[in-house]
Chain A
Amino acid sequence: MGSRASTLLREEEIEEIKKETGFSHSQITRLYSRFTSLDKGENGTLSREDFQRIPELAINPLGDRIINAFFPEGEDQVNFKGFMRTLAHFRPIEDNEKNKNPPATEPLNSRTNKLLFAFRLYDLDRDDKISRDELLQVLRMMVGVNISDDQLGSIADRTIQEADTNGDSCISFQEFIKVLEKVDVEQKMSIRFLH
């Protein structure tokens, strides 16, 4: 498996991905072998069905949203580069990265980008705002029909009321950041990738 992965993946590509995502060489090859094992069609890209085979995503109420995050708008295939770009959001922030002078562009795994990823999960129509309707839809996914519509509505209202600071009855990204200020996003939205 491993040897196939390294033969299929060219050195320049690895370098490119390395530069973009910050993954190490071995991590990239390893993830590539995973990518190929997920790829049932064996055409070098992953489809939504491929992702849905992952049980955690299959049972996750927001699983579809997470899967969506892998796909650029309007496409239903994702290649390895895109796959890595999304996964890079979950790379842990390393200690030496913190100390270094910040690079010109923000790395994909910064707190803001992690939060942005989470934000996009809730922002169904990609207008950079979470509206009451979007909240209701997500809530519906999360609790099923055990709670009445009125109550769900009041929950959504309360959520917006809590988070909204500028009175447009939507949650913008800034407000989202504010809400999750106390949450240790850096740690919680990180995956320990094997080295």
Chain B
Amino acid sequence: MMMMMMRTRPLKDEDGGRHPNPRTATKTMMERNERQQQEKEQEPPGRRFLRSRAMKKARKTRGEERNLGELCPKRRKRSRIMTRRETRKEKMRRIRTRKRRIKRQAGANVFSLHDLGCFLHAVLFIVLKQSMKVTEVHYRNINSSSSSSSSSDPDEESLSEGEIAALKEQVEEKKKLIATLRNKPWRMKKRLLLLKEAQDFVEKFEGALGKGKGRRLYAFKVMMTKKLIKFNRDFENFKTACIPWERKIKEVESHFGSSVASYFLFLRWMYGLNLVLFGFMFGLVVIPEVLMGLPYGSIPRKTVPRDEQDTAMDFSVLFDFGGYCKYSVLFYGFYNNERSIGLLQFKLPLSYLLTSVGVFGYSLLVVIRTYAKDQHAGRPLLGVQMKGMAYGCYFLRMARNANEGGDGGDEGEFIFSWKMFTSWDYLIGNPETADNKYASITTSFKESIVDEQENQKDENIHLRRFLRIFANLLILCSLGGSGYLIYYVVKRSQDFAKMDPKTLTWFENNEVEFVMSLLGLVCPPLFETIAELEDYHPRIALKWQLGRIFALFLGNLYTFLFALFDEVNEKLETEKSIKNATEWTLHQYYANYSSFYNTTSVPPPNVAPADVIRGPCWETGVGREFVKLIVSDVQVTFLTILVGDFLRAFIVRFLNYCWCWDLEAGFPSYGEFDISGNVLGLVFNQGMIWMGAFYAPGLVGMNVLRLLTSMYFQSWAVMACNVPHERVFKASRSNNFYMGLLLLVLFLSLLPVVYSMMTLSPSFDCGPFSGQEKMYDVVIDTIKAMPAFIGNIFTYVSNPGLIMPAILLMILAIYYLNTVSKAYQQANTDLKKKMQMARDDEKNRRNNKDSTNQMMKDLEDLLPNKSLAPTPVEEEKPLDIVIDKTRTKPGTAGKGVLVQKEDSLAAQNPRRPVTRAPGPRGGPPGNMRSPQPEPGRGRGQGAAQRR
């Protein structure tokens, strides 16, 4: 049974669910060793041999390489290349090993099922044969058959007669002790302790001896506890296995580090969020319309117009989301403005509006909550009262780990020492990962050297400044240029839209998307090149780079939006004229009809839905633009991965056999995973979903699909085509920065939607709000339809007299919280300062002592209970002292503590006088205390009071 536990454990641990960051140096040092040991035990010897041979080989090659390298660096480089090639060859073998390991884990699962079966079997047995004395035997049989081990209860198995007798005696003794404990002259604490121990002991061994409540019950209880433990463990495993893509992400993490994995975690989180949004959108808007609304072709807005019908099923049109797609449930225009539909009287227009707002509300809520949770779990970021930064939470976590990893973090004191002593990750068992770790340690050292040099650098500051300004100018120019280009293209596309679509080429049709994607591809490398001019520190350069790409994306997006608004306004104009024309025609028709037939009951004009003249329906147009943008974005992303990563890796891998230089180590090499670009891409994608969801409810569903494929495709691509980062991505300082960016995106995507909801009037002949002046009229109508008192309440609430104070109150609350956080921050820094001062003080004291009195130190080292670490347990120390004091001399507590405390800072062991044999005063203690700042007081009173 124990073997079972051991078998199932590695499964859980390899999932590593509980381990926040495997790269964290020295974390649970050597834990993996142990685990590996276990694993090794379970392997058949042949496989173990193979693996250990592989390890040895890897080790050997690296050893050689190191030796070679020490001789001459160039050869070292070559040998590294060779190793790399060899590593590729070994990859196949490793994959095989991995597969085998997975199989083994599967085997473990099977075993555990088997075990469960045994358990049930055992329970049945016990229930059925309760009267027979054989249960114990059965239990033992089952126990040994299921796992061939019962080493954990040796009390049961390996007890000889003598031992049993001894045990009996002990149990009796304990029982007696329990009975007579009351009369013992001991302290209560000791009594309680002894009582507990004795009771535990009796309970544990009484059953084993076949006495007390009985052997059977005992056996059953032991088994149950074990099964329970095992079940819990299995359940944990099961829970871990239930987390989607956990194993996939772990695999990526183990090969590429937590920074790359954080992107995938982010992606998964995004997927979860979108799934919920999808549920809202489809459950409350799309499905009701499909099930209960009018079918396709019943009214004009649900029908393809006559002149479009010929091409409505063409692939090119459908691919462009025209034709049947345009008049489908995917887009705003399809929805009917009937106030309530179906048997349930479902108020669809209201539901549409509320769901769209709810999507924003829910996103905001989740984002804030995730952020708050993460903040709570992590380092408290006092004073940072920014909400909605949950996107950054993964980076926060990452950064936190980076700090914990001993990169120095914000402790400027021991950067190099920490790097030196804590940088190796003792959990690494994979040679490739180890190589990466070597590289990362090297880089981190190099980075620190860079930091050092940066601090001491003094060079031509004017040239540097000039170059930086110049670079910024260049980047501003290119940003402006790209903005203008997009504006131009969008304008052009509006012109194209007026022309006959048949005369246009494919390029002219998709110019906007093409240009935007191209800009997204070209500009980041361009910025990076320009940034070389600036010669910033890499970390700062990364920030700048992120900021610039963000600005580019944002600029592009907003140019696109403004162009779209232009288009919308134009469409609104045409719509107005069409509306007037339609109304005029209708009016004419009614007038003619009534005058012709001389009746007031005029039937509606009998026109086929496809032939009705209709407005441009700007909402559907906007929705289509967004959908097209998303689709082209997906295409570009996937194509980039296919060409930029896969094809490149393919060429590098296979052309390497017949090429003049080494492709793997030389120029093209394998790609690295671009974390910042991908994260920004994901964030902007989400922004567009938020914006577009209102105009195209189907967009959310498409996005869910996109994220799903993205997950599989990218994790495959990263495992297959990319190599781990040469430089470990250090985001330790840029977390706030990320958060700022992400917050911006959230609000910027909210802005246009709310604006259009509030100010633009909806199309008159399509969408759920048609016929209304403003979209929010639906809500007002609903309120009016409610009982009068509710309407009254709303009137009161919307009264400016109430709203103004509410806003004021909110501002006050923000101000108050801000002040409080600032105060906390201030307190924080003050405390930090104090701690620093105390440390310095202590350092000085110790220095004095160390330099003046070496002998004293030696003496101290000889003491048995020496506590060499005085400060880490500082919280406990004063307590000890107080207790000591009150116990020995309650009268002089106040002053005594003070002196003692001072003493404890200077000397390391406050209890020293107790442990040492009483001797004549003076001598070493006096000597020791003499270099203190206040020798007179410290010597006289301190010594006197302590004795």
Contacts and interface: CB of A to CB of B under 8 A. Distances in A.
Interface of A: 1-3, 5-7, 11, 25-26, 29-30, 33-34, 37-38, 52-62, 66, 90, 102, 104-106, 111-112, 115, 118, 122, 135, 138-139, 142-147, 151, 154-155, 158-159, 162-163, 165-167, 173-174, 176-183, 187-194
B426 A60 contact: yes
Contacts of A139: 420
B426 A177 contact: no
B415 A162 contact: yes
A188 B30 contact: no
A74 to B, nearest CB: 23
7 contacts: A34-B37, A59-B55, A60-B434, A142-B441, A181-B869, A191-B29, A191-B31
B733 interface: no
A193 B441 CA distance: 29
B55 A163 contact: no
B369 interface: no
A6 B421 contact: no
Contact of B27 (A26, A55, A188): A188
B678 interface: no
Nearest to B158: A6
B585 interface: no
A163 B417 CA distance: 7
Contacts of A177: 868-869, 872
Contacts of A38: 37
A34 B42 CA distance: 10
A165 B52 contact: no
Interface string B24-63: 0011111111101110110000000001100110110010
Contacts of A138: 420
Interface of B: 2-3, 5-6, 9, 26-34, 36-38, 40-41, 51-52, 55-56, 58-59, 62, 65-66, 69-70, 73, 76, 148-152, 154, 157-158, 163, 406, 411, 413-418, 420-424, 426-431, 434, 438-439, 441-442, 445-446, 448-449, 452, 843, 846-847, 850-851, 864-865, 867-869, 871-873
A5 B69 CA distance: 46
A53 B52 contact: yes
Contacts of B424: 60-62, 142
Contact of B427 (A56, A105, A174): A56
A146 B727 CA distance: 13
Given A58-B56, A135-B420, 14 more contacts: A6-B151, A54-B36, A56-B32, A59-B59, A60-B424, A60-B434, A104-B864, A112-B867, A142-B423, A143-B438, A144-B69, A167-B851, A181-B871, A193-B34
A25 B41 CA distance: 20
Contacts of A174: 846, 868
Given A59-B431, A59-B434, A2 B149 contact: yes
B869 A179 contact: no
Main SS at interface, chain B:
helix
Contact of B37 (A54, A59, A118, A162): A54
A163 B441 CA distance: 20
A155 B445 contact: yes
Contacts of A167: 851
Contacts of A187: 27-28
A6 B157 contact: yes
Q: Which of B5, B6, B65, B872 has the most CB of A within 10 A?
A: B872
A106 B33 CA distance: 26
Contacts of B154: 6, 25, 29
Given A5-B151, A105-B864, A146 B846 contact: no
Nearest to A26: B152
Contacts of B36: 54-56
Contact of B420 (A29, A33, A159): A159
A162 B415 CA distance: 8
A165 B3 CA distance: 51
A37 B58 CA distance: 23
Nearest to B427: A56
Contact of A56 (B30, B56, B442): B30
Q: Which of A53, A111, A163, A173 has the most CB of B within 10 A?
A: A53
A31 to B, nearest CB: 9
Nearest to B871: A181
B55 A162 contact: no
Contacts of A165: 843, 846-847, 850
Nearest to A121: B421
Contacts of A106: 865
A90 B30 contact: yes
Contacts of A118: 421
A144 B151 contact: no
B414 A179 contact: yes
Contacts of B428: 56, 59-60
Contacts of B38: 34
Contacts of A54: 33, 36-37, 40
B868 A158 contact: no
Contacts of B445: 143, 147, 151, 155
Contact of B871 (A58, A61, A104, A178): A178
Contacts of A1: 3, 41, 148-149, 151
